[in-house]
Amino acid sequence: MIAANLPALQVVLPLLGAVLCAFLQRGVWAWGIALVVSVAMPFVAAGLLIQVLDGGIISYAMGGWEPPIGIEYRIDVVNAFLLLLVSVIGAVIMPYAKRSVEKEIAPEHQPWFYAIYLLCLCGLLGIVITGDAFNVFVFMEVSSLATYALIAMGRDRRALLAAYQYLIMGTIGATFYVIGVGLLYSMTGTLNLADMANRLEGIENSRAVLAALAFLTVGISLKLALFPLHVWLPNAYTYAPSMATAFLAATATKVAVYLLLRYFFTVFGASIIFTRLPVAEIFLILSLAAMFGASIVAVFQDNVKRMLAYSSVAQIGYITLGIAIANKTGLTGGIVHLFNHALIKGALFMAIGAVFYQIGSVKLDDLAGLGKRMPITMGAFVMAGLSIIGVPGTVGFVSKWYLGLGAFEQGWWWLVFLLVASSLISVVYIGRIVEVVWFRPVSAAAKRAKEPPLSMLLPTLLLVAATVYFGFDTSLTAGIAERAAEWLLAGIR
Amino acid sequence: MSGEALIILTLLIPAAGAVLIALTSWQENVREGTTLVTAAALFLVVMTILGRVMDGEQPMTGAFQVVPGLELAFRVEPLGMIFACVASSLWIVNSIYSIGYMRGNNEPRQTPFYVCFAVAIASTLGIAFSANLFTLFLFYEILTLSTYPLVTHKGDDNAKAGGRVYLLILLGTSMLLLLPAIIATAMIAGTLDFTPGGILAGKADNTTIALLLALFMFGIGKAALMPFHRWLPAAMVAPTPVSALLHAVAVVKAGVFTVVKVVVYVFGVDALASSGSADWLVWVAGFTVIAASAVALRQDNLKKLLAYSTVSQLAYVVLAVSILTPLAVVGAALHIAAHAIAKITLFFAAGSIYTASRLTEVSQLDGIARRMPWTMTAFAIGALSMIGVPPTAGFLGKWFMLVGAMNTGEWVAVVVIVLSTLMNAGYYLPIIVRAFFKPPGKDVKAHVKGEAPMPIVMALTATAAGTVLMFLFPEVPLTLARLLAGV
Amino acid sequence: MDLLQTIVAHYNHWIIIFLMVSGLYIVVARGNMIKKLVGLGLFQTSVYLLYLSPGKILGGTPPILSPQFSVYSNPLPHVLILTAIVVGVATLALGLALVVRINEAFGTIEEDEIFAGEEDE
């Protein structure tokens, strides 16, 4: 019974949890509920992944209405993997959240914070699990609205501006998405993604379908912060509460990338995307622009959270580069980086959140000498930083290896050089932090800092350990990414 | 004990040592004791492996697959054995020396120093015993990262600037050039395992081979081939034991070791010789030898002089490899060991002078040998080895290189070797003359009271003796080098 | 002639495109945060029409089952847009709430003035 209804549980549990949280008075209780729900999620997701790996695609008719009329939850290797990723990050971050939220959010707002967080989680999981184009929009808005509210809860008043800006851009993105879906619906008469893919055969060249593709691509690219549609991201990540930043950086953009993959490969099919339209070329150029442009901007930031935010934009470039390379190895690299970057950025933002918890600032100058006061936290930060750089033995290297091999297979040897050249820029910005943290005298802000409480430290270390572990044992990550890539590209041949 | 267990021990001992050192930071003597015990234990294990290798065995471990095509695996072959012996034996001496130096100069942050040192040694052994390019690259990068805190140890602006150059050049070359070369090799050869005869032999056309060779040679930044040598002088800001580690024990040796390994096991000496893709390398290496010597001639700062001397000596190894005959490869392997032990002596001596008197310039050293006879005698032996005068170890490597070069009629190499020997003499002999035969100058009179602390003198005496002993009893390195080259 | 007919026949699309573009233009060109939200609302509304107008079938009746009629308008777009309207209202509400808070925090809702103030800090 439970096993058969796992797909529904994945979305309904956080939704119910959110409602419960909203009725509570005390932050601790709300935290308890959010913790229970978040910790349950990975088990649900793992159950689904096991079912998918054993028995193939799961089709779940929500509310008993059969697809294609009813809403179908459709789970294959790709989204089972994503579900696991999002829910694991959500679970790891909850123990961390308690102290961080107590510090950054006013007590009377804490239950609301957790309620909104659970809504956001629900929306993200929903986008991933559903097989219905319009349902995706609904979940996208659930998660987006929750995200705007989460960002607005940041202590700095500029958080409000960041949330407002994101609201405007996010809504435009979502509306573009709906336009695309509307055009597709008028051409195919269905909203079920699988059904839509079948009915698109033969009419791929019609102008409405191409226009739909353009709207969808731009809309989703806004959500995933593809350069140059990334302008909302740095402010949003900088001013959001630490816990929200860590969660969003690790999951939100990844889910948007998933959605893009879903449309490109399963709905439209790789042949129309890559052979008839210059999508690969456009993505290649934009990815490279992100990898270099955003990395260089990151070097000159004085606010560490903003630096990491720009680094995120650059790293998203690596993921989309995997799409642009468009062969199995390259796509594997993109998908595996999706997972790896979630781990890395989660760890980095959690470490920085712990710093904020202790010294109340994320200005680079205030971090001076912190290596002596918080050696474990900063050590964790540097380890995750090495992953961003792509040092062998970390997850970052695995992604880069696949991307590099993919580029070679495609005959783009110059891309290999660009790939590694851009990671050199990350050496500079991570190196800047290292120098300040270890080689400068202790700053006034950092004078009385000490290691954060264990509830914050352990989840951070867990993620950092994962970045090293999955740098060596890639059977889970790269293995699944490879299967996913193979499956996505099956459309071509 | 199985060969596999022994290899894993060589990595675990220094790694565990690093943890123990960190845990025993509360008590200096216990901490330094831990360092020494770890170094001794490591040396014993390496010697056990050496015994096996001399019996013709090649201990190896199973492979751990990271992603298909990338495996973590170790195998002991003769060249790695030489390197491991050099690194593990010099670590003991260097530890003794470090204790004297760090205490004698009241250096801050000694615990991180010893920890990073142990990690660097662990990664050095990882490099030495790696069975494929990926494993080598992994430990190569760890070595860079673990030595960065050592280079910036002093923490002032100078050290930070030096550290930046160090990190950016080493990481930059390895990522921009070496990594693409490795990816290309994986694509072309289908494997990254070190295989006698070369994995690229016969797999690619000459242009590709030449291009890959260039990527490898310049990408291995630790070998300091010009124009990527700037990091070595920049790293001179580090404390002397670190310079010794960089120049003798680990870092630059890891560079030239990788060069030899790549040429022998990835390209294949014969394949490379017949393709003619490596002809340019003789010129680049030769230029580096001469140019670095010329720069060294004009240095007054003793450590800078030694640094440029290292650049030139490293290029010898690359030069020897580029001659592409078995005899020259023997010379290259021997030179790695010989240069290590002689250069560490020289750095120990420079550090000894600094600890005893704070003198850093050559021109200040008039007559210092009367006040510091042990130090300066050791220095003289080391310097003679650099020039290649018997009875010092430096003679061995140069001899094989010269014979190899003459046999193949590689006259460019012959000229370079002879000319640079003269230049070496040109900058080392004046120091010896100045120190031994001039009357004590005002700096020496003012600052030099006597010899440096006991551990320092012990360490440099031991390495100086080693320099001579290696010339007198070269069986072990020679056997290994011959095994490597197959002659 | 054909072209003209096509243009006239698709008059609903022209209205939609006009609304869409003017909505977007307001969002981009106006510095007043309330006006931006108005533009956003206009933009979203144009999409409602995009869905609804093809759902209407000439001669079709509202989709209520009755033996007298056999041609119905497509009900699905209406349901979808009902959802979209709810989402749009929620977005507008949140946006307005943010504007209120911004007004409290910065004392203005003009973007230029806020950014000018931020640079002085």
- Note the pLDDT tens digit of each residue in C46-88: 999 888 887 777 777 777 777 887 787 778 888 888 999 999 9
Task: Please check whether residue B208 touches A, CB under 8 A.
Answer: no
Question: Would you say residue B441 lies in a domain?
Answer: yes
pLDDT at A351: 92
Give the pLDDT mean for A322-338. Answer: 89
Q: Which of A390, A408, A424 sits opposite B187 (nearest CB)?
A: A408
CA angle centred on A435, ends A162 and B154, rounded to 5°: 165
How confident is residue A492, by pLDDT bands cut at 50, 70 and 90? Answer: very low
Return the residue matching tokens 């002093």. B154
Q: Which two tokens stand for residue B102?
A: 């760090």
Q: Which residues on chain C are in Cβ contact (under 8 Å) with A119?
A: none
pLDDT of residue A173: 93
Which of A79-93, A346-360, B347-361 has the least mean pLDDT? B347-361
Residue C42 banded pLDDT, cuts 50, 70, 90? very high
Task: Give the residue from chain B lying closest to A416, CA to CA.
Answer: B180
* Across A460-481, average pLDDT: 87
**Is B in contact with C (3 or more beta carbon pairs below 8 Å)?**
no
The pLDDT confidence band at residue C119, using thresholds 50, 70 and 90, is: low
| B67:A431 CB<8 A | no
Cβ pair B138:A393 closer than 8 A: yes
Q: What is the model's pLDDT at position A491?
A: 55
Single-letter code of the amino acid located at B136: L
Find chains touching chain C: ≥3 CB pairs under 8 Å. A
- Residue A347's H or E segment, with its range, is helix A328-359
CB contacts < 8 Å between A and B, how many? 76
Substitution target in A372, A472, A475 with the highest count of B β-carbons within 10 Å is A472
Burial zone of A427 (CB within 10 Å; 0-12 exposed, 13-18 middle, 19+ buried): buried
> How confident is the model at residue A143, as a pLDDT?
93
Q: Which helix (H) or strand (E) holds A239?
A: helix A232-239
Q: Domain count of chain B?
A: 1
| Amino acid (one-letter) located at B174 | S
C32: β partners? C110
Exposed / middle / buried, residue C2 (Cβ in 10 Å: 0-12, 13-18, 19+): exposed
**Do the chains contact at A141 and C90, CB–CB below 8 Å?**
yes
B183 CB near a chain A CB, below 8 Å?
yes
Determine the average pLDDT of the residues in B165-172: 86
Subunits with 3+ Cβ pairs within 8 Å of A are: B, C
Quote the mean pLDDT of chain A: 88
Mean pLDDT of B82-96: 86
Instruction: Specify if B436 maps to a domain.
Output: yes
Instruction: State which residue of chain A sits closest to C106, comparing Cα positions.
Output: A157
Taking only the tens place, the pLDDT of each residue in B241-272 is 888 887 777 888 888 889 888 888 888 888 88
State the smallest CA–CA distance between residue A428 and chain B in angstroms.
Answer: 8
Please give the average per-residue pLDDT across A430-447, as a whole number: 83
Phi/psi of residue B357, each to 5°?
-140, -5
What pLDDT does residue A88 have? Answer: 92
Say which of A134, A160, A186 has its CB closest to residue C98: A160
Q: Which of A420, A428, A472 sits opposite B175 (nearest CB)?
A: A420
The chain-wide mean pLDDT, for chain B, equals 84
Does the pLDDT at position B105 exceed 90? no
Kindly state whether B109 is in contact with chain A, defined as any CB-CB distance less than 8 angstroms: no
Query: What confidence tier does A493 reach under pLDDT thresholds 50, 70, 90?
Result: very low
CA–CA distance, B403 with B388 (Å, rounded to integer)? 14
Cβ contacts (< 8 Å) between C94 and chain A: which residues?
145, 148-149, 167
What integer is the mean pLDDT of B80-102?
85
Is B64–A416 a contact, with Cβ atoms under 8 angstroms apart?
no
Per the CB < 8 Å rule, is C105 touching A178?
no
On whether any CB of chain A is under 8 Å from the CB of C16, the answer is: no
Range of the domain at C74: 2-120
Range of the domain at B448: 278-487
Lowest mean pLDDT among A344-358, A426-440, C32-46: A426-440
pLDDT attached to residue C43: 92
Rounded Cα–Cα distance for residues A384 and B456 (Å): 39
Domain that holds residue A322: 278-493
Pairwise CA distance, residues A133 & C84, whole Å? 13
Contact (CB<8Å) A157/C105: yes
- For residue A103, the Cα-to-chain-centroid distance in whole angstroms is 25
Whole-angstrom distance, CA of residue A277 vs CA of residue A258? 20
- CATH number at C18 reads 1.10.287.3510
Find chain C residues with C-beta within 8 A of A149's C-beta: 94
| pTM metric for this prediction | 0.88
CB-CB contact of A326 with A270 (8 Å): yes
Are C54 and A186 in contact (CB < 8 Å)? yes
What tokens appear for A287 in the block? 């990815």
- Chain B residue closest in CA terms to A404: B183
The predicted-structure confidence for A226-277, as pLDDT tens digits, reads as follows: 888 888 899 899 999 999 999 999 999 999 999 998 888 888 887 777 777 8
Identity of the amino acid at A11? V
Contact C84 A178 (CB under 8 A): yes
- Chain B environment of A368 (Cβ under 8 Å): none
Residue A458: closest CA among A344, A385, A351, A304: A351
First to last CA, chain A: 39
Under 8 Å between Cβ of B239 and B158: no
Model pLDDT, residue A472: 86
Residue A490 above 80 pLDDT?
no
Whether residue A126 contacts residue A11, with contact meaning beta carbons closer than 8 Å, is answered with yes
- Nearest residue of B to residue A332, measured between CA atoms: B67
Mean pLDDT, residues B194-211 taken together? 82
Count structural domains, chain A.
1
Can you tell me the distance from the alpha carbon of A33 to that of A17, in angstroms, rounded to the nearest whole number?
A: 6
Q: Parallel, antiparallel, or unpaired for β B70-72 and B64-67?
A: antiparallel
In total, the C-beta contacts within 8 angstroms joining chain A to chain C are 67
Is A153 in the C-facing interface, judged by CB distances under 8 Å?
no
Looking at residues B102-107, what average pLDDT do you find?
Answer: 76
What is the structure's pLDDT at C1? Answer: 60
Question: What percentage of chain B exceeds 70 in pLDDT?
Answer: 100
Banded model confidence at residue A1, pLDDT cuts 50, 70, 90: low
Taking an 8 Å cut-off on Cβ atoms, the answer to whether C27 and A175 are in contact is no
Q: Is the pLDDT of residue B487 over 70?
A: no
Q: Cβ separation of B176 and A427 shorter than 8 Å? A: no
Task: Tell me which residues of chain A have a C-beta less than 8 Å from any C-beta of chain B.
Answer: 386, 389-393, 398, 400-402, 404-405, 408-409, 413, 416-417, 420-421, 423-424, 427-428, 431, 435, 438-439, 471-474, 478
